[in-house]
Amino acid sequence: MAKVSAYHSTNPSDPDVYHDHSDCPPGSQIPAHNRAAGKGGYDRCKKCEQMD
């Protein structure tokens, strides 16, 4: 459960959340070309919250 810099998806069909764990299942499914650095003004992913 490694913490990483926050990132979010730029794909409009993905949930509007940010991720900050490298092994978050939904976050790891975001293709590299759809990843953007930062929180994007979104709430934190519930799965990432559970990993703390």
Could you read off the pLDDT of 11-27 as tens digits, one per residue? 999 999 999 999 999 99
List, for residues 26-48, the tens digit of each pLDDT value.
Answer: 999 999 999 999 999 999 999 99
- What tokens does 52 get? 């703390």
Count of domains forming the chain:
1
Expressed as residue numbers, the domain containing 43 is: 3-50
* pLDDT at 45 (0 to 100): 98
Which of 47, 50, 3 is closest to 27 using CA atoms? Answer: 47
DSSP state of 40: T
Could you tell me the pLDDT band of residue 2, with boundaries at 50, 70 and 90?
confident
- What tokens does 2 get? 């490694």
Q: Is the pLDDT of residue 1 over 80?
A: no
- For residue 15, how far is the Cα from the chain centroid? 9
Q: Supply angle C-alpha 45, 51, 52, rounded to 5.
A: 100
